[in-house]
Amino acid sequence: MTKHYHSYDRPRQALLNAISKCSPPQTLKQLSLACGRNHAYLQQYVERGSPLSLPEDIRHKLAAMLNVPHESLMSEQLEHELAKQPKRRKNDTMATIPFLDHPQHAGFDRQPWKMSGHLLASMGYKNLSALVLVQSGDNAIKPTATLGDFAIIDQTDKNPHHTGLFAIDGSDHIKLRFLEQPHPDADTVFVRHAPDDQGGFTMSLSSINIIGRAFWKLCLI
């Protein structure tokens, strides 16, 4: 005797209920073909339990054609598995990052960038008002950064004791340089064009106007 899954299986019953309310009428065969499957696909699903559950793409197609929520066609097992997963944030606050007010950016329509606030927070940047955009004003550290490349700068981090890429105010232009302070109390800083640069030179820390640490860079191709 053929086992009728729809007699006790919620998604199969939901499918048949939705079909019974269709206007104009629809058949399992017609819907199977409309989903890009063979004519017996949904008949086998309902009567023989094959497949055990509808794939996501088929659920969404059927839901659209039958005007029902796609969740109603989801197997209870899959629904339970999804319920165990961490909830996604439905609303992500978009952070607005403006261009630094600097002579280098004058004369251009510099629209602020929008970035995911959750992403920035996950990276440890919670004081979003301290973030600004700058544009590199020279080619000195090519290929790390070239003229016109963009970088997001954290203005609260101007401490080169932890080596990194920093934006430096060069009066009429902005430089991106790797800075390293030998020890926290030193008034000197090593200036390099690349992290592994064995050359470089030393400058007085007090003579360098550090804008902040770069943590995100967009290069022009």
pLDDT in tens, 127-151: 888 999 998 888 877 777 888 888 9
Rounded distance between C-alpha atoms, residue 64 and residue 87, angstroms: 25
**Intervals of the chain under pLDDT 50:** 1-6
Q: What is the pLDDT of residue 3?
A: 47
Contact 151, 171 (CB under 8 A): no
What pLDDT does 34 receive? 87
* pLDDT of 123: 79
pLDDT of residue 5: 47
Cα(148)–Cα(159) distance, rounded to whole angstroms? 25
The residues, ordered by sequence, that sit 6+ positions from 178 with a Cβ below 8 Å of its Cβ are 141, 144, 163, 164, 165, 166, 191, 192, 193, 194, 195, 197, 200
Give the pairing type, strands 210-218 and 164-169. antiparallel
- The secondary structure element, H or E, covering residue 58 is helix 56-66
pLDDT tens-digit map of 156-174: 999 898 888 999 998 888 9
To the nearest 10°, report the CA torsion of 23, 24, 27, 33: -110
pLDDT of residue 8: 56
Please give the pLDDT value at position 169: 93
Consecutive H or E run containing 154: strand 150-154
The tokens describing 50, both together, are 């094959």
Sign of CA dihedral 73, 76, 79, 81: negative
Which domains are assigned to the chain?
5-84 (1.10.260.40), 94-218 (2.10.109.10)
Q: What are phi and psi of 164, to 5 degrees?
A: -175, -175
Predicted pLDDT of residue 6:
43
